[in-house]
Amino acid sequence: MAKPLVLIDVDWTLLNDLFHFEPNGLAEKIKVMTAAGWEIGLMSDRPQNELMEFSDELGMNGPLLAELGNVLIYPRLDICKCWRTYDERSKMSMFTKRAIITLMEKFPNLPILLSSNVRQFREFQNLNWPREKVIAAVHTQRRTSFLVNVHRYGPDGLMEAGAEPVQSIARLLKTQFIDDFFTEPFLFVSEKRQGCALFHFADASKARSAKYLFDEKLADSIAMIGDMIWDDLKDPRAIQLAVGNADESYKKICRFTADKPFSTGVGQCLDWLKANYE
């Protein structure tokens, strides 16, 4: 049976809810699979540079689909594609700069960290921030989207900042997005531990990138390992798999659901693929 292209989500799939990666022998498992002819890559909302770090760390050989599929990097085939126009990317860059200035003006007591990669963001978590201090982190390497995380840090690690600061920032920047782009954004707001306001162009989706891979004959089938409904590739050629901590709505559409969460669950999904497609 032909092996599907394997794509793995990052947040709440490879990484746990503290942004930590627990290897659990995953790199060794991927090494064995790629040596046996599997192609394994990443599809995530995270930007390209962070996916490249994870890919290198895990020894992956497949494509990297970043920023909710808006950016495709396929090193083996020398493909680098972005679905947004140069004008849109330039506007998003300006939006990011303006958003930082807006946050500084509207929240003068809010420390704003500028994070360019996941390793730097992990280092932020190791600093001994006061428990009562709300911290914002803007990710500066995104090309087609904007993300600000809002949370607290303390002796026990990452702590929720609560709904109010996240919602306030989201409302403020949504108005700015509409002013800049004359359209509503695709906006995801979460008050969970890493509290975030994430802005995308309204038509961004992982399914669109998957369609490109199918249309260009770069994949006959795709096995997508994820944790939430964003990971639904909406194509009968997709094999949906879920880690144990996945949302129930996503589990319902999956062919297989691991009983373990995060990276351990990813390993179980890979084992299932090997058992069924080798």
- Cα 121 from chain centroid? 14
Q: Are the C-beta atoms of 34 and 61 separated by less than 8 Å?
A: yes
Q: How far is the C-alpha of 110 from the C-alpha of 151, rounded, in Å?
A: 11
Residues with Cβ within 8 Å of 94's Cβ and at least 6 positions away in sequence, in order, are: 180
User: In the chain, what percentage of residues exceed pLDDT 70?
Assistant: 91
Average pLDDT, the chain: 90
Instruction: Give per-residue pLDDT as tens, 109-158.
Output: 898 888 765 555 556 556 666 666 788 889 888 999 999 988 887 666 66
Q: What does DSSP say about strands 256-257 and 238-242: parallel, antiparallel, or unpaired?
A: parallel
Query: Which architecture does CATH list for 5-84+204-277?
Result: 3-Layer(aba) Sandwich (3.40)
Task: Tell me how far apart the alpha carbons of residues 172 and 122 are, in angstroms, rounded to a whole number.
Answer: 27
Give this prediction's pTM.
Answer: 0.92
Provide the angle, in degrees to the nearest 10, between the axes of the packed helices 48-58 and 26-35: 80
State the pLDDT at residue 22: 82
In whole angstroms, give the CA distance from residue 154 to residue 150.
14
Domain ranges in the chain are 5-84+204-277, 86-200
Buried b (16+ CB within 10 A) or exposed e, 99-122: bbebbeeebeeeeebebebbeebe
Residue 14 carries which DSSP code? T
Q: For the segment 30-75, what is each residue's pLDDT rounded down to a tens digit?
A: 999 999 999 999 999 999 988 998 999 999 999 999 999 999 999 8
Contacts 24+ apart (CB under 8 A), 30-36: 30/58, 30/59, 30/60, 30/270, 31/59, 33/6, 33/270, 33/274, 34/59, 34/60, 34/61, 36/278
Asked whether residue 77 carries a pLDDT value surpassing 80, the answer given is yes
